[in-house]
Amino acid sequence: MLDVCGVSSIDELFSVIPESLKSPGVELPEHIDEYELDRRVRNLASLNKTPVSFCGGGMYEHFIPAAVDSIAGKAEFYTPYTPYQPECSQGTLQTVYELQTALCRLYGMEASNASVYDGATAVAEAALMAVRVTRRRKIIVDGCLNPLYIRVLKTYLRYADCEIVQTGRRGAGLSEDGLEAEIDEKTACYIYQNPDFFGNVRDLSSDIKKVHSAGALAVASAYPVSLGLLKTPGEMGADIATGEGQSLGNPLNFSGPYIGFITCKRKYIRKLPGRIVAETEDNEGRRGFVLTLQTREQHIRRARATSNICTNQNHCGLRSLIYMTLMGKNGMREIAISNAKKASYACEKFKERGFAIENPGPIFNEFVVNIEKDAEDVLKNLYKRGFLGGVPLGKYFPDMKNCVLIAVTEVRSLREIEEFIGEFEKSV
Protein backbone atom coordinates (compact mmCIF):
# COMPACT_ATOMS: atom_id res chain seq x y z
CA MET A 1 0.00 0.00 0.00
CA LEU A 2 2.86 2.37 0.82
CA ASP A 3 4.26 1.71 -2.69
CA VAL A 4 0.93 2.57 -4.30
CA CYS A 5 0.73 5.81 -2.28
CA GLY A 6 4.31 6.65 -3.22
CA VAL A 7 5.62 6.96 0.34
CA SER A 8 8.29 4.97 2.12
CA SER A 9 6.92 4.69 5.66
CA ILE A 10 3.83 5.07 7.84
CA ASP A 11 5.34 8.25 9.33
CA GLU A 12 5.69 9.73 5.87
CA LEU A 13 2.11 8.73 5.02
CA PHE A 14 0.80 10.66 8.02
CA SER A 15 3.24 13.57 7.69
CA VAL A 16 0.45 15.93 6.56
CA ILE A 17 -1.09 15.74 10.04
CA PRO A 18 0.29 18.56 12.24
CA GLU A 19 2.55 17.26 15.03
CA SER A 20 0.38 18.97 17.65
CA LEU A 21 -2.57 16.77 16.70
CA LYS A 22 -0.66 13.48 16.82
CA SER A 23 -0.72 11.21 19.82
CA PRO A 24 2.56 11.14 21.73
CA GLY A 25 2.15 7.36 21.83
CA VAL A 26 0.74 4.99 24.41
CA GLU A 27 2.98 3.39 26.98
CA LEU A 28 1.77 -0.16 27.39
CA PRO A 29 3.16 -2.60 29.93
CA GLU A 30 4.84 -5.84 28.82
CA HIS A 31 2.44 -8.46 27.59
CA ILE A 32 1.22 -11.14 30.00
CA ASP A 33 -0.53 -14.46 29.42
CA GLU A 34 -4.28 -14.94 29.74
CA TYR A 35 -4.14 -16.68 33.11
CA GLU A 36 -2.02 -13.91 34.65
CA LEU A 37 -4.30 -11.25 33.16
CA ASP A 38 -7.37 -12.99 34.56
CA ARG A 39 -5.79 -13.01 38.04
CA ARG A 40 -4.79 -9.36 37.93
CA VAL A 41 -8.21 -8.22 36.78
CA ARG A 42 -9.93 -10.32 39.46
CA ASN A 43 -7.69 -8.73 42.08
CA LEU A 44 -8.55 -5.29 40.77
CA ALA A 45 -12.26 -6.15 40.75
CA SER A 46 -12.10 -7.32 44.37
CA LEU A 47 -11.03 -3.80 45.36
CA ASN A 48 -14.39 -2.43 44.19
CA LYS A 49 -16.68 -1.39 47.01
CA THR A 50 -20.42 -1.92 46.77
CA PRO A 51 -21.98 0.68 49.03
CA VAL A 52 -25.73 0.69 49.57
CA SER A 53 -26.99 3.24 47.06
CA PHE A 54 -29.60 5.97 47.45
CA CYS A 55 -28.53 7.66 44.22
CA GLY A 56 -30.94 8.43 41.40
CA GLY A 57 -31.30 11.58 39.34
CA GLY A 58 -32.02 9.75 36.09
CA MET A 59 -30.44 6.32 36.65
CA TYR A 60 -31.87 3.90 39.22
CA GLU A 61 -31.00 0.60 40.83
CA HIS A 62 -33.84 -1.84 40.22
CA PHE A 63 -34.11 -5.57 40.61
CA ILE A 64 -33.51 -7.50 37.37
CA PRO A 65 -35.02 -11.01 37.28
CA ALA A 66 -32.50 -13.69 36.22
CA ALA A 67 -34.76 -14.60 33.31
CA VAL A 68 -33.88 -11.27 31.65
CA ASP A 69 -30.21 -12.32 31.41
CA SER A 70 -30.93 -15.84 30.24
CA ILE A 71 -33.47 -14.89 27.57
CA ALA A 72 -31.51 -11.85 26.35
CA GLY A 73 -28.38 -14.04 26.25
CA LYS A 74 -29.79 -16.38 23.63
CA ALA A 75 -27.34 -16.45 20.71
CA GLU A 76 -30.15 -15.75 18.21
CA PHE A 77 -30.64 -12.33 19.79
CA TYR A 78 -26.96 -11.42 19.92
CA THR A 79 -26.77 -8.90 17.14
CA PRO A 80 -25.25 -5.45 17.27
CA TYR A 81 -27.53 -3.95 14.66
CA THR A 82 -31.11 -3.70 13.47
CA PRO A 83 -31.48 -6.14 10.62
CA TYR A 84 -32.75 -4.61 7.40
CA GLN A 85 -33.49 -7.93 5.71
CA PRO A 86 -36.85 -9.20 6.94
CA GLU A 87 -36.33 -12.54 5.17
CA CYS A 88 -33.65 -13.53 7.69
CA SER A 89 -34.51 -11.45 10.80
CA GLN A 90 -38.10 -12.15 11.78
CA GLY A 91 -37.29 -12.97 15.42
CA THR A 92 -35.39 -9.75 16.08
CA LEU A 93 -37.88 -7.61 14.16
CA GLN A 94 -40.73 -9.14 16.19
CA THR A 95 -39.03 -8.23 19.48
CA VAL A 96 -38.63 -4.62 18.29
CA TYR A 97 -42.29 -4.50 17.24
CA GLU A 98 -43.34 -5.84 20.64
CA LEU A 99 -41.08 -3.34 22.43
CA GLN A 100 -42.79 -0.52 20.50
CA THR A 101 -46.19 -1.93 21.45
CA ALA A 102 -45.25 -2.24 25.13
CA LEU A 103 -43.90 1.33 25.20
CA CYS A 104 -47.06 2.70 23.59
CA ARG A 105 -49.13 1.01 26.30
CA LEU A 106 -46.84 2.14 29.13
CA TYR A 107 -46.70 5.77 27.98
CA GLY A 108 -50.32 5.88 26.78
CA MET A 109 -49.19 6.87 23.27
CA GLU A 110 -50.05 5.64 19.78
CA ALA A 111 -46.71 5.14 18.04
CA SER A 112 -43.13 4.41 18.99
CA ASN A 113 -39.84 3.96 17.18
CA ALA A 114 -37.33 1.19 17.86
CA SER A 115 -35.52 3.40 20.47
CA VAL A 116 -32.72 6.00 20.49
CA TYR A 117 -29.45 6.31 22.48
CA ASP A 118 -30.72 7.39 25.89
CA GLY A 119 -33.24 9.52 27.77
CA ALA A 120 -31.35 12.74 27.09
CA THR A 121 -31.03 12.30 23.33
CA ALA A 122 -34.68 11.22 23.23
CA VAL A 123 -35.60 14.67 24.59
CA ALA A 124 -33.36 16.38 22.02
CA GLU A 125 -34.80 14.32 19.15
CA ALA A 126 -38.33 15.11 20.40
CA ALA A 127 -37.52 18.85 20.35
CA LEU A 128 -36.25 18.62 16.77
CA MET A 129 -39.36 16.62 15.88
CA ALA A 130 -41.60 19.35 17.33
CA VAL A 131 -39.71 21.91 15.26
CA ARG A 132 -40.42 19.86 12.12
CA VAL A 133 -44.10 19.40 12.97
CA THR A 134 -44.85 23.03 13.88
CA ARG A 135 -42.24 24.75 11.65
CA ARG A 136 -41.55 26.95 14.67
CA ARG A 137 -38.19 27.35 16.38
CA LYS A 138 -38.74 28.30 20.01
CA ILE A 139 -38.39 25.57 22.62
CA ILE A 140 -39.57 26.07 26.19
CA VAL A 141 -37.86 23.83 28.72
CA ASP A 142 -39.32 23.31 32.18
CA GLY A 143 -36.87 24.40 34.88
CA CYS A 144 -37.34 21.05 36.65
CA LEU A 145 -36.16 18.94 33.69
CA ASN A 146 -33.00 16.89 34.37
CA PRO A 147 -30.12 19.44 34.01
CA LEU A 148 -28.03 16.89 32.09
CA TYR A 149 -30.86 16.49 29.57
CA ILE A 150 -30.91 20.27 29.14
CA ARG A 151 -27.18 20.22 28.41
CA VAL A 152 -27.58 17.46 25.81
CA LEU A 153 -30.53 19.33 24.29
CA LYS A 154 -28.40 22.48 23.94
CA THR A 155 -25.55 20.49 22.39
CA TYR A 156 -27.84 18.78 19.88
CA LEU A 157 -29.49 22.05 18.88
CA ARG A 158 -26.38 24.22 18.86
CA TYR A 159 -26.48 24.67 15.08
CA ALA A 160 -30.22 24.10 14.59
CA ASP A 161 -31.07 27.82 14.71
CA CYS A 162 -33.54 27.37 17.58
CA GLU A 163 -34.23 29.49 20.62
CA ILE A 164 -34.22 27.57 23.90
CA VAL A 165 -35.79 29.23 26.95
CA GLN A 166 -36.13 27.83 30.44
CA THR A 167 -38.99 28.45 32.86
CA GLY A 168 -38.25 29.38 36.47
CA ARG A 169 -37.77 27.10 39.44
CA ARG A 170 -38.09 27.66 43.17
CA GLY A 171 -35.34 25.48 44.62
CA ALA A 172 -36.58 21.93 44.35
CA GLY A 173 -40.09 23.33 44.20
CA LEU A 174 -42.50 23.31 41.37
CA SER A 175 -41.90 25.40 38.30
CA GLU A 176 -43.07 28.94 38.53
CA ASP A 177 -45.82 30.01 36.21
CA GLY A 178 -43.26 31.02 33.60
CA LEU A 179 -44.93 28.94 30.96
CA GLU A 180 -47.74 31.35 30.19
CA ALA A 181 -45.33 34.28 29.96
CA GLU A 182 -43.07 32.42 27.54
CA ILE A 183 -45.53 30.63 25.31
CA ASP A 184 -46.34 32.42 22.06
CA GLU A 185 -47.03 31.89 18.36
CA LYS A 186 -43.35 31.05 17.76
CA THR A 187 -43.31 28.20 20.28
CA ALA A 188 -42.68 24.74 18.85
CA CYS A 189 -42.92 22.84 22.11
CA TYR A 190 -42.88 22.79 25.89
CA ILE A 191 -40.68 20.05 27.37
CA TYR A 192 -41.43 18.83 30.88
CA GLN A 193 -40.43 15.93 33.09
CA ASN A 194 -42.77 13.98 35.36
CA PRO A 195 -41.87 12.96 38.00
CA ASP A 196 -39.54 15.96 37.68
CA PHE A 197 -35.80 15.94 38.43
CA PHE A 198 -36.50 16.53 42.14
CA GLY A 199 -39.02 13.68 42.38
CA ASN A 200 -42.16 15.87 42.39
CA VAL A 201 -45.24 14.33 40.82
CA ARG A 202 -47.51 16.69 38.92
CA ASP A 203 -50.56 16.56 36.71
CA LEU A 204 -49.71 18.78 33.75
CA SER A 205 -53.01 18.36 31.90
CA SER A 206 -54.01 22.02 32.21
CA ASP A 207 -50.51 23.26 31.21
CA ILE A 208 -50.68 21.01 28.17
CA LYS A 209 -54.04 22.54 27.20
CA LYS A 210 -52.40 25.99 27.25
CA VAL A 211 -49.56 24.65 25.10
CA HIS A 212 -52.03 23.24 22.58
CA SER A 213 -54.09 26.41 22.42
CA ALA A 214 -50.91 28.22 21.29
CA GLY A 215 -50.49 25.66 18.50
CA ALA A 216 -47.42 24.11 20.13
CA LEU A 217 -46.65 20.52 21.12
CA ALA A 218 -46.18 19.10 24.62
CA VAL A 219 -43.11 16.88 25.03
CA ALA A 220 -42.88 14.66 28.10
CA SER A 221 -39.91 12.95 29.68
CA ALA A 222 -41.19 10.24 32.01
CA TYR A 223 -39.50 7.62 34.18
CA PRO A 224 -40.97 4.36 32.85
CA VAL A 225 -41.13 2.64 36.25
CA SER A 226 -43.39 5.42 37.58
CA LEU A 227 -45.94 4.83 34.82
CA GLY A 228 -47.17 1.62 36.42
CA LEU A 229 -48.86 3.95 38.90
CA LEU A 230 -48.99 7.54 37.64
CA LYS A 231 -51.15 9.25 35.04
CA THR A 232 -49.41 8.64 31.69
CA PRO A 233 -48.14 11.32 29.31
CA GLY A 234 -50.87 10.19 26.88
CA GLU A 235 -53.57 10.68 29.52
CA MET A 236 -52.26 14.19 30.17
CA GLY A 237 -52.41 15.00 26.44
CA ALA A 238 -48.69 14.96 25.56
CA ASP A 239 -47.89 14.83 21.84
CA ILE A 240 -44.45 13.23 22.20
CA ALA A 241 -43.39 11.18 25.24
CA THR A 242 -39.81 10.13 25.92
CA GLY A 243 -37.95 8.25 28.61
CA GLU A 244 -34.74 6.60 29.77
CA GLY A 245 -35.02 2.81 29.59
CA GLN A 246 -32.16 1.88 31.92
CA SER A 247 -34.53 1.17 34.79
CA LEU A 248 -36.33 -1.54 32.78
CA GLY A 249 -33.97 -4.51 32.95
CA ASN A 250 -30.65 -2.76 32.30
CA PRO A 251 -28.00 -2.71 35.06
CA LEU A 252 -26.16 0.41 36.23
CA ASN A 253 -22.81 0.44 34.47
CA PHE A 254 -20.93 3.75 34.30
CA SER A 255 -23.76 5.47 32.41
CA GLY A 256 -24.22 3.25 29.42
CA PRO A 257 -24.96 1.94 26.95
CA TYR A 258 -28.55 2.73 27.86
CA ILE A 259 -31.66 3.24 25.81
CA GLY A 260 -33.96 6.15 25.03
CA PHE A 261 -37.65 5.81 24.30
CA ILE A 262 -39.54 8.14 21.99
CA THR A 263 -43.27 7.70 21.43
CA CYS A 264 -45.83 10.00 19.84
CA LYS A 265 -49.34 10.54 18.59
CA ARG A 266 -49.99 8.60 15.41
CA LYS A 267 -50.43 11.73 13.28
CA TYR A 268 -46.78 12.70 13.89
CA ILE A 269 -45.26 9.34 12.97
CA ARG A 270 -43.75 10.61 9.71
CA LYS A 271 -41.77 13.17 11.69
CA LEU A 272 -40.50 10.56 14.17
CA PRO A 273 -36.76 9.85 13.79
CA GLY A 274 -35.10 6.44 13.72
CA ARG A 275 -36.24 2.97 12.82
CA ILE A 276 -39.84 1.81 13.07
CA VAL A 277 -40.89 -1.83 12.80
CA ALA A 278 -44.36 -2.66 11.49
CA GLU A 279 -46.50 -5.75 11.16
CA THR A 280 -47.30 -6.97 7.66
CA GLU A 281 -48.22 -10.08 5.69
CA ASP A 282 -45.96 -12.05 3.37
CA ASN A 283 -47.05 -13.29 -0.07
CA GLU A 284 -48.57 -16.39 1.52
CA GLY A 285 -50.65 -14.35 3.95
CA ARG A 286 -48.50 -15.09 7.01
CA ARG A 287 -47.90 -12.48 9.72
CA GLY A 288 -44.47 -10.90 9.47
CA PHE A 289 -42.44 -7.84 10.48
CA VAL A 290 -40.51 -5.24 8.46
CA LEU A 291 -38.88 -1.85 8.88
CA THR A 292 -41.39 0.74 7.69
CA LEU A 293 -41.70 4.40 6.65
CA GLN A 294 -38.01 4.32 5.76
CA THR A 295 -38.26 7.39 3.55
CA ARG A 296 -37.86 9.39 6.80
CA GLU A 297 -34.42 7.95 7.30
CA GLN A 298 -30.93 8.90 6.28
CA HIS A 299 -30.22 5.99 3.93
CA ILE A 300 -32.98 7.41 1.72
CA ARG A 301 -33.47 11.06 2.63
CA ARG A 302 -29.80 11.82 3.33
CA ALA A 303 -29.28 15.31 4.78
CA ARG A 304 -33.02 15.93 5.08
CA ALA A 305 -33.66 12.78 7.15
CA THR A 306 -35.64 13.14 10.39
CA SER A 307 -32.34 12.50 12.18
CA ASN A 308 -28.76 11.92 11.12
CA ILE A 309 -27.58 11.20 14.64
CA CYS A 310 -29.79 8.54 16.13
CA THR A 311 -29.70 4.77 16.10
CA ASN A 312 -31.60 2.20 18.12
CA GLN A 313 -30.25 0.31 21.13
CA ASN A 314 -31.42 -3.13 20.17
CA HIS A 315 -29.91 -5.17 22.96
CA CYS A 316 -30.94 -2.81 25.78
CA GLY A 317 -34.36 -2.63 24.13
CA LEU A 318 -34.62 -6.41 24.09
CA ARG A 319 -33.83 -6.47 27.82
CA SER A 320 -36.47 -3.79 28.47
CA LEU A 321 -39.04 -5.79 26.52
CA ILE A 322 -38.25 -9.01 28.39
CA TYR A 323 -38.42 -7.14 31.70
CA MET A 324 -41.81 -5.61 30.92
CA THR A 325 -43.16 -8.91 29.58
CA LEU A 326 -42.06 -10.76 32.73
CA MET A 327 -43.57 -8.09 34.98
CA GLY A 328 -46.81 -7.73 33.10
CA LYS A 329 -49.27 -4.93 33.79
CA ASN A 330 -49.76 -5.94 37.44
CA GLY A 331 -46.05 -6.40 38.07
CA MET A 332 -45.28 -2.93 36.69
CA ARG A 333 -47.93 -1.52 39.00
CA GLU A 334 -46.59 -3.40 42.04
CA ILE A 335 -43.01 -2.22 41.39
CA ALA A 336 -44.20 1.39 41.07
CA ILE A 337 -46.22 1.15 44.29
CA SER A 338 -43.28 -0.41 46.14
CA ASN A 339 -41.00 2.46 45.00
CA ALA A 340 -43.50 5.14 45.98
CA LYS A 341 -44.21 3.57 49.38
CA LYS A 342 -40.57 3.06 50.37
CA ALA A 343 -39.55 6.55 49.24
CA SER A 344 -42.48 8.14 51.08
CA TYR A 345 -41.59 6.14 54.18
CA ALA A 346 -37.96 7.33 54.01
CA CYS A 347 -39.09 10.90 53.37
CA GLU A 348 -41.40 10.83 56.44
CA LYS A 349 -38.55 9.41 58.57
CA PHE A 350 -36.25 12.26 57.48
CA LYS A 351 -38.97 14.73 58.44
CA GLU A 352 -39.44 13.06 61.85
CA ARG A 353 -35.72 13.53 62.53
CA GLY A 354 -36.14 17.22 61.82
CA PHE A 355 -34.66 17.42 58.33
CA ALA A 356 -36.09 19.97 55.91
CA ILE A 357 -37.67 18.37 52.84
CA GLU A 358 -37.75 20.70 49.84
CA ASN A 359 -40.55 18.97 47.92
CA PRO A 360 -43.78 20.93 48.21
CA GLY A 361 -46.16 18.09 47.32
CA PRO A 362 -46.37 14.42 46.35
CA ILE A 363 -43.24 12.55 45.27
CA PHE A 364 -42.61 9.28 43.42
CA ASN A 365 -39.34 7.64 44.54
CA GLU A 366 -37.07 10.64 45.07
CA PHE A 367 -37.00 13.67 47.33
CA VAL A 368 -34.69 16.54 48.26
CA VAL A 369 -33.27 16.97 51.77
CA ASN A 370 -31.82 20.35 52.74
CA ILE A 371 -29.12 19.72 55.37
CA GLU A 372 -28.19 23.38 55.83
CA LYS A 373 -24.50 22.68 55.26
CA ASP A 374 -22.33 21.60 52.33
CA ALA A 375 -23.85 18.40 50.99
CA GLU A 376 -20.66 17.10 49.35
CA ASP A 377 -18.89 16.81 52.74
CA VAL A 378 -21.76 14.89 54.28
CA LEU A 379 -21.88 12.52 51.31
CA LYS A 380 -18.13 11.84 51.66
CA ASN A 381 -18.70 10.86 55.30
CA LEU A 382 -21.60 8.63 54.35
CA TYR A 383 -19.48 6.89 51.73
CA LYS A 384 -16.98 5.96 54.43
CA ARG A 385 -19.90 4.43 56.34
CA GLY A 386 -20.93 2.28 53.36
CA PHE A 387 -23.58 4.43 51.72
CA LEU A 388 -23.89 6.29 48.45
CA GLY A 389 -26.09 8.88 50.05
CA GLY A 390 -27.60 10.64 47.05
CA VAL A 391 -26.87 13.21 44.36
CA PRO A 392 -25.41 16.53 45.63
CA LEU A 393 -27.52 19.16 43.86
CA GLY A 394 -24.93 21.97 44.09
CA LYS A 395 -23.27 20.21 41.18
CA TYR A 396 -26.10 21.39 38.91
CA PHE A 397 -27.74 24.25 40.81
CA PRO A 398 -25.51 26.83 42.55
CA ASP A 399 -28.43 27.76 44.88
CA MET A 400 -28.71 24.18 46.13
CA LYS A 401 -25.27 23.45 47.59
CA ASN A 402 -26.92 22.21 50.80
CA CYS A 403 -29.33 19.85 49.10
CA VAL A 404 -29.17 16.12 48.44
CA LEU A 405 -31.44 14.26 46.01
CA ILE A 406 -32.25 10.91 47.59
CA ALA A 407 -33.77 8.00 45.65
CA VAL A 408 -35.35 4.93 47.26
CA THR A 409 -36.27 2.06 44.94
CA GLU A 410 -37.85 -1.34 45.60
CA VAL A 411 -34.40 -2.93 46.20
CA ARG A 412 -33.82 -1.01 49.46
CA SER A 413 -35.05 -2.87 52.54
CA LEU A 414 -36.68 -1.09 55.46
CA ARG A 415 -33.65 -2.01 57.56
CA GLU A 416 -31.30 -0.39 55.03
CA ILE A 417 -33.48 2.72 55.04
CA GLU A 418 -33.44 2.92 58.87
CA GLU A 419 -29.65 2.39 58.98
CA PHE A 420 -29.12 4.95 56.27
CA ILE A 421 -31.12 7.63 58.08
CA GLY A 422 -29.21 6.88 61.29
CA GLU A 423 -25.84 7.21 59.54
CA PHE A 424 -27.08 10.28 57.67
CA GLU A 425 -27.88 12.01 60.95
CA LYS A 426 -24.43 11.18 62.33
CA SER A 427 -22.70 12.44 59.17
CA VAL A 428 -24.52 15.77 59.38
Partner 1 sequence: MIFYTDEHEWVEIEGFGGTAGITKFAARQLGDITYVDFPSVGDYFAEGEMICEIESVKSVSEFYAPISGKITEVNRELEDIPELVNESPEEDGWIVKIKADNPEEAGGLMNEEEYREYLSSIE
Q: Which residues bind partner 1 (CB under 8 A)?
A: 270, 295-296, 300-301, 304
Nearer to partner 1, 278 or 300 (CB): 300
Nearer to partner 1, 299 or 415 (CB): 299
Helix residue spans in 187-297 (DSSP H) = 205-213, 233-236
d(CA 350, CA 357): 8
Nearer to partner 1, 295 or 308 (CB): 295
CB of 295 to partner 1, least distance (A): 5
Preceding amide of 195 cis, omega within 30: yes
Rounded (10°) CA dihedral 139, 133, 222, 257: -90
CB of 135 to partner 1, least distance (A): 8
CB of 296 to partner 1, least distance (A): 8
* C-beta of residue 119 within 8 angstroms of C-beta of residue 244: yes
CB of 267 to partner 1, least distance (A): 11
CB of 294 to partner 1, least distance (A): 10
Nearer to partner 1, 275 or 296 (CB): 296
CB of 89 to partner 1, least distance (A): 21
CB of 301 to partner 1, least distance (A): 5
Nearer to partner 1, 296 or 412 (CB): 296
CA distance from start to end of the chain: 66
CB of 292 to partner 1, least distance (A): 11
Residue 231 per-residue DSSP state = P
* Bridge partners of residue 193, in order along the sequence: 221
d(CA 180, CA 214): 10
Round the CA-based radius of gyration of the chain to a whole number and report it: 24
Nearer to partner 1, 133 or 140 (CB): 133
* C-beta of residue 171 within 8 angstroms of C-beta of residue 358: yes
Neighbour-count burial of 85, counting CB atoms closer than 10 A to its CB (0-12 exposed, 13-18 middle, 19+ buried): exposed
Nearer to partner 1, 42 or 299 (CB): 299
* C-beta of residue 164 within 8 angstroms of C-beta of residue 154: yes
Residues 6+ apart with CB under 8 A from 118: 244, 246, 256, 257, 258, 259, 260, 313
Nearer to partner 1, 132 or 333 (CB): 132
